[in-house]
Structure formats: C-alpha cells, structure tokens
Amino acid sequence: MEDLYNILDVPRTASADDIKRAYRKKAHQYHPDKKGGNEEKFKQVNAAYQVLGDAKKRSQYDQFGDASFNQQGGGFSGDPFGGFSGANMNFDLGDIFEQFFNGRGNTRTRREKRGDDIALDISTSFIAAAKGEKQDITFRGYAGCDMCSGSGAKPGTPIVNCATCSGRGFVRHNRQTMFGVFAQQEVCATCGGEGKTPKTPCDKCHGQGRIKADRRLTIDIPAGIEDGQTIRISGKGEVPPRGGQAGDLYVTVHVQPHAALRRDGLHLRTVAEISYVDAALGATVSVPSLEGQIDLPIPAGTQPGSEMVLRGKGFPSLRGGQRGDEIVTMKVSIPKKVSRQQRKLLEELRQTKNKRSLFG
C-alpha cells in the first residue's frame, strides 16, 4: 500500500491544518466530476485523509505502518496482538496501543529518508505580480556537506555496519503490558534506520552529511499570482542526514498594494476624477494601468459613478489564455466655491435650461 503521507504529498511532521489543506487541494485536483479528474486517485486521497485527518488513527498508522493498518477500512487488517480479538470488548484498541508505546510512534519500517520542507515569505510589487518576474531569494537550511559529499564519512574512510543495531536498522525491546510481554521494534536511534554509520565522521558535518548554510535561489513568480498564494519548488528544501530525498521549498508571495489600482479577481479597478464641466462636455483623462498612464476619452454627459471598461487591461490568468479588464469608475468633482465669472456662466446656463424647459 502506498504511503498515506505520499498520497497527500505532505511530510510526516505535517500539522493537522497542513494535512487538511493538502487533502482539499488533492481532492479538487482529482475530483471525477472535474475535467482531467481521476476517480482512483480521488478515492486514494479520501482514504488517506480518513486516516491522517483523525488524530488517533494517524497515531496508530504512524506506530504500525502499512503492515497493520487497513487504508480502505480505516482499521487494522491484521491482529497486532497475535490472535487476541477485541471485536466484542468495550474498550478502544487505539488507547491500548498508546499505553503500549506511550504515543511515540516508534514502531516503523525502514523508509526512504526525506528532508524537511522549508517555508518562507517574500514580497513583490503589484505590477510584478501582474507581469511576472524573477526574484533572487536567500534562506537558511540544511544542505549537503561539500566535504564528504553527504556521506557523513571523513574522506577516504569507509561506511560500516551500525554497532548499535548490527546493520539491521532497528532494535528490539521487550515491554511488559496488561496482556503479557511484547517485543517492540524501534528504528535505531544511532543510524536512523539506515543500518550504516561512518567509521570516522566527517570533520565538517560531524557525521551528519549535511550542514546549515545560507542558500541562494532564483525563483520565477508567475504572471497573475495573487496575494497570499504559495509557490512549491520541489526538492529545494532541506536534505536529510547522510543522503536521501530533499524536502520541498514553499514560498508564499505577498503582493504590495498599488496606490491607484485595486485587484478584483482578474479585473482591475481604478477611479478617474473629472470636473463637472468635463463630465458635461466630454474630455480625455489620463488613468493608471499596468502599462503606465494611458489616455481615456470621456464622452459628453458622463454621469457620476458610471463605469468605463478597458478590455484586456486587467490581470492575466495563471492558467494562461485569459486576461481581465480594467474598470474605471467616474468621480465627478463639484467645487464648493466658484469665482464670480464661473457663477455668472453657471447662472446663464441655468437660465438657458429654464427657457428651454418653458418653451419645450
């Protein structure tokens, strides 16, 4: 059975919230009613979440692994008590397991090591989020030791069987329980389950095969990214001790607000302030856009609050092939004070309007 953590694409150290987010993302990706969905994958994702989304079931799975846990039924496919049946007993087997192993989850089979994920936050401008950009980032994390090439051994010295576990990768302990004495198998703490250790540890990494270091990377911020979205960069997280698969790098992008533009989905919104004279007679005004200031013709008789649409001037879709519009809302400015000449002209305009109304 495939590892449940791999199905949801999360590390074993993931929090409950991380698991829930991963489940929702995978369920949406593989939903059979969605174009390109995968019913079998969808079922696997749901089954994995039934276990990992429940704290007690997750603890049992971490302790007994694939050998004892039945993913389809959410219970145990085999009897870890060697024939003892709890079907008609009024106690929770999960509580008993926790009593046996103190909730530590130490009974595990040897698995391929995977490094921890790294999460960091970066900031980008409103315009860069619309157009996309490359950004150089610096972060700190475990990288492979360059002196021993990640082996943990001093150059020129061999890797030998672990003295603690005799190369098995695990050790056994007898534990007294209410049912008798049980043999518990634990991953060897000395070699981490590998069964091998350096005969002479590397002087730089002290046998770990990795060192903490400042790392630099150039990442692509895609055009159309939204504030708070996260970019996953596979294999750029921390490396595990003495080799194995590196974790992933998760970069959350925070988009700085723009002074005059506001995002609304794929659309942009802005406000153009015009005088009442320009609203009445028509004019051309300069408005901000993603490409800079552009001239916008205002028709005569424009009303306050009316909107004009600039087609294709909004944000691009992350999936490509689509771009929103820029919507300009008209704000008509009416002065609180007018000059004598302006008052005279307005009075003449009012008289003209009144005569027109009187004589039709």
Write the pLDDT tens digit of every residue in 44-84: 988 889 889 988 888 877 776 654 454 344 444 333 333 33
DSSP secondary structure code for residue 115 in this structure: P
Residue 275's pLDDT is what? 92
Domain locations along the chain? 1-105, 270-358
Phi–psi pair at 174, nearest 5 degrees = -90, 130
Task: Count Cα atoms within 13 angstroms, Cβ side, for 313.
Answer: 21
Q: How far apart are CA 314 and CA 41, in angstroms?
A: 36
Q: Specify the fold of 270-358.
A: HSP40/DNAj peptide-binding domain (2.60.260)
- For the chain, the first-to-last Cα distance in angstroms comes to 87
Rounded to an integer, what is the distance from CA 121 to the centroid of its chain?
11
Q: What integer is the mean pLDDT of 226-251?
A: 92
Burial of 312 per CB tally in 10 Å (0-12, 13-18, 19+): exposed
Give the integer Cα–Cα distance in Å for 45 and 26: 7
Tokens, residue 203:
């002087």
> Which neighbouring-strand residues pair with 271?
329
**Beta bridge partner(s), residue 70:** 75
Q: How far is CA 76 from CA 19, 86, 243, in A?
A: 22, 11, 33
The architecture (CATH level 2) of 1-105 comes to Orthogonal Bundle (1.10)
Task: Write out pLDDT tens, residues 259-289.
Answer: 999 999 999 999 999 998 999 999 999 999 9
The model's confidence at residue 243, banded by pLDDT at 50, 70 and 90, is confident
Q: How many CA atoms lie within 13 A of 178 on its CB side?
A: 9
Tokens of 198: 């350096």
